[in-house]
């Protein structure tokens, strides 16, 4: 019975989340005490469902782009031909991480205008490092005798990459993507300061009108999304690791 | 036939393999022995061009091994390494099918070959084929590693301390399996080991390497009887020499006429086993039976001791 509890809990959170973003009106009595002067308890300047989907879309686009670039970069610098770019690419990606996302937003707005684009740029740059680091670690710590066997069997460089190196690196790369997604989910909220349609809109509206109910619902939806997605990706990661015979649980 | 002609490998100023020449006859096993850092593994890896030599030529059945791209050459040569190096994300059957897949064999042929090899290695294809390597014992993993190396029916099999990670009992079994399979397929095998016992047991010829140089390349009896240098003598182990010499001969070759008391020893056992049995049981002679179970004579302590003496 015990083993069912976490799954049950997750399903409950998921159900609650879905009900909340589709029919937030039902929860009005719960949030009402948090408002003052008869302000609305449920965000009323847009549908929570639409905002959630747009939030997820922004994170998805940024993560897919960051994953593509980071993994490609990691592959490139672990080939013999690209080895000399290893330090350079490391520092470039590190810069992406030290740059505060707010600063990226501020710099990107004059260049690409308001809206989703500057947010995507900030999330993309922010998501690169964890994926790149993990991909690099995975690709440089592959078991030596497995790689030796792959070469000895007569695989070409490309075949070794596709058939051995990437499959074996998958669990660790997935770990990087998971970190990156969770960071992006949270960071995307500040995109609303430059008019991106994300759940940050709800939080910012709450802050401006001093409406705690708004801040809370915006924050809770983002938190629930982060927890569920983190869990889901962890499960995929464990499955992949088990397939590789790397223990798991 | 493998002809190694004046092969040298240098890394910067360090010479790892120094002007080695040797010929390995087809359908025989050559073992390369030496201490760590003697260059034996590098020499092996130059045959399938995992390492490119600085100078010299290696010919396989008369053709320079540089006449094909490296990866194509390696598909035609079996390669088994210590710790097996199985692909952990592929099933046993997929692991064994690696090279046939690369060569583009059709599915039925691959399946037939995989089943044949697994049966040969006493692994039920139905039960073990779909398993992953980490679900197997060390001995089974090692067998899959050798089966994978043999999958594409290579004429040449290179083995780099393939039994190094096995416990003694499984190791002996693995060696017997290898000898049986070598006989069956007629594969030319080059096996690198640091264990003189293994080298003597498996090798039709033994190459002894020290500091990159080939010190001696000869039949096991020759190496035991006439070591070319102090190094070879140390490697052979002075106190083990007579027993190793006996381990090369079969009981049936030491049979004398006459009978003896007690249980008979089979004629294809080694003379070393016979001597051990004689000493342990405290008897002066043992009856010997042939392959058909009939008594063919006896072996005596005296006779065996004579055979253990340094050949003149």
Would you write out chain A's pLDDT as a tens digit for each of its 249 residues? 567 888 888 888 898 888 888 887 788 777 777 777 777 778 878 788 888 999 999 999 999 999 999 999 999 999 888 888 888 888 887 787 787 878 888 888 888 888 888 889 888 988 888 899 999 999 999 999 999 999 999 999 999 999 999 999 999 999 999 999 998 998 899 888 887 888 888 898 888 888 888 888 889 999 999 999 999 999 999 888 887 765 433
CA distances (Å), A109 to each of A96, A104, A122, A193, B28, in order? Answer: 17, 8, 11, 11, 74
Q: How far is CA B284 from CA A176, B279, B306, in A?
A: 73, 8, 14
Q: What is the mean pLDDT of residues B259-267?
A: 84
Q: Does B48 touch chain A (CB under 8 A)?
A: yes
Identify the architecture of domain B244-307 in CATH.
Answer: Alpha-Beta Complex (3.90)
B102 → closest Cβ in A146, A153, A246: A153
- Nearest chain B Cα to A148, which residue? B85
What's the token pair of residue B178? 């290898």
Q: Cβ separation of B89 and A167 shorter than 8 Å?
A: yes
Rounded alpha-carbon distances, angstroms, from residue A239 to A245, A246, A247: 10, 10, 10
- Give me the DSSP letters along A51-75: HHHHHHHHHHHHHHHHHHHHHHHHH
Residue B51: strand, helix, or coil: coil
Nearest by CB: A155 against B73, B102, B135: B102
Task: Give the distance from residue A245's alpha carbon to the nearest chain B alpha carbon, in angstroms.
Answer: 6
Q: Do A153 and B79 touch (CB under 8 A)?
A: yes
How confident is the model over B23-55, as pLDDT tens digits? 999 999 999 999 888 999 999 999 999 999 999
B82 touching A (Cβ < 8 Å): yes
**Overall fold of domain B2-238:** Rossmann fold (3.40.50)
Domains B2-238 and B244-307 share a fold: no
Could you tell me which chain A residue has the CA closest to the CA of B148?
Answer: A153
Domain ranges of chain B: 2-238, 244-307
- For B68-93, the pLDDT digits (tens) are 999 999 999 999 998 889 999 999 99
For residue B105, list chain A residues with Cβ-Cβ distance below 8 A.
none
* Pick from A36, A11, A128: nearest CA to A73: A128
CB within 8 Å: A154 and B72:
yes
Which residues of B are less than 8 Å from A145 in CB distance? 81-85
Instruction: Note whether residue A29 is domain-resident.
Output: no
Inter-chain contact A154–B83, Cβ cutoff 8 Å? no
Q: Which domain holds residue A92?
A: 52-243
Asked if the C-beta of B303 comes within 8 angstroms of chain A's C-beta atoms, the answer is no
Q: Report residue B206: phi and psi, to 5°.
A: -120, 135
Set of chain B residues whose Cβ sits within 8 Å of the Cβ of A143: 85, 88
Q: CA-based angle B279:B282:B284, to the nearest 5?
A: 85
Contact A244 B85 (CB under 8 A): no
From A241, which residue of chain B is nearest by alpha-carbon distance? B89
Rounded distance between C-alpha atoms, residue B5 and residue B16, angstroms: 16
Query: Structural domain tally of chain A?
Result: 1
> Which domain CATH number covers A84?
1.10.3720.10
From the CA of B258, how many Å to the nearest CA of chain A? 54
CA atoms within 13 A on the CB side of A84: 1
Cα nearest neighbour of A145 on chain B: B85
Instruction: Please report residues of B whose CB lies closer than 8 A to that of A167.
Output: 89
């Amino acid at each position: 019975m015990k083993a069912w509890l976490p799954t049950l809990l997750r399903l409950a959170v998921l159900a609650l989340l879905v009900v909340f973003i589709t029919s937030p009106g039902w929860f009005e009595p719960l949030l009402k005490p948090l408002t003052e002067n008869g302000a609305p308890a449920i965000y009323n300047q847009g549908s929570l469902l639409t905002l959630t989907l747009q939030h997820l879309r922004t994170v998805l686009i940024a993560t897919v782009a960051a994953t593509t670039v980071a993994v490609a970069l990691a592959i490139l610098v672990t080939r013999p031909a690209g080895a000399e770019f290893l330090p350079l690419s490391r520092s470039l990606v590190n810069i992406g991480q030290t740059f505060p996302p707010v600063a990226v937003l501020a710099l990107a707005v004059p260049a690409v205008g308001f809206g989703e684009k500057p947010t995507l740029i900030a999330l993309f740059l922010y998501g690169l490092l964890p994926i790149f680091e993990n991909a690099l670690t995975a690709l440089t710590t592959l078991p030596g005798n497995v790689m030796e066997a792959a070469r000895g069997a007569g695989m070409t460089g490309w075949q070794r990459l596709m058939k051995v190196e990437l499959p074996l690196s998958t669990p660790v790369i997935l770990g990087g993507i998971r970190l990156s997604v969770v960071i992006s989910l949270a960071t995307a909220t500040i995109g609303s300061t430059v008019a991106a349609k994300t759940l940050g809109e709800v939080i910012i509206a709450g802050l401006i009108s001093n409406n705690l109910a708004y801040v809370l619902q915006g924050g809770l939806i983002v938190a629930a999304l982060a927890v569920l997605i983190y869990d889901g990706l962890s499960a995929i990661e464990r499955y992949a690791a088990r397939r590789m015979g790397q223990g798991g649980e | 036939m493998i002809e190694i002609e004046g092969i040298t490998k240098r890394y910067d100023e360090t010479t790892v393999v120094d002007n080695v020449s040797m010929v390995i006859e087809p359908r025989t096993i050559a073992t390369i022995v030496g201490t760590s850092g003697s260059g034996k593994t590098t020499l092996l890896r130059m045959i399938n061009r995992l390492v490119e030599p600085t100078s010299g030529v290696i010919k396989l059945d008369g053709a320079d091994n540089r006449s094909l791209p490296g990866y194509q050459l390696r598909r035609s040569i079996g390669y088994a390494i210590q710790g097996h190096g199985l692909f952990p994300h592929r099933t046993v059957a997929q692991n064994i099918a690696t090279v046939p897949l690369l060569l583009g064999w059709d599915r039925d042929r691959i399946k037939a070959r995989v089943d044949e090899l697994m049966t040969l290695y006493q692994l039920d294809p139905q039960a073990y084929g779909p398993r992953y390597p980490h679900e197997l014992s060390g001995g089974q993993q090692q067998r899959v590693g050798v089966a994978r190396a043999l999958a594409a029916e290579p004429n040449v099999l290179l083995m780099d301390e393939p039994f190094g990670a096995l416990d003694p009992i499984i190791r002996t079994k693995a060696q017997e399996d290898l000898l049986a399979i070598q006989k069956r397929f007629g594969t030319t095998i080059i096996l690198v080991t640091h264990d003189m016992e293994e080298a003597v047991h498996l090798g039709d010829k033994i190459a002894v390497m020290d500091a990159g140089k080939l010190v001696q390349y000869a039949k096991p009896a020759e190496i035991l009887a006439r070591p070319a240098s102090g190094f070879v003598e140390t490697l052979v182990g002075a106190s083990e020499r007579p027993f190793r010499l006996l381990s090369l001969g079969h009981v049936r070759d030491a049979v004398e006429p006459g009978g003896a008391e007690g249980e008979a020893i089979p004629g294809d056992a080694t003379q070393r086993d016979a001597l051990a049995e004689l000493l342990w049981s405290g008897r002066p002679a043992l009856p010997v039976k042939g392959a058909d179970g009939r008594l063919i004579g006896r072996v005596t302590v005296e006779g065996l001791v004579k055979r253990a003496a340094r050949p003149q």
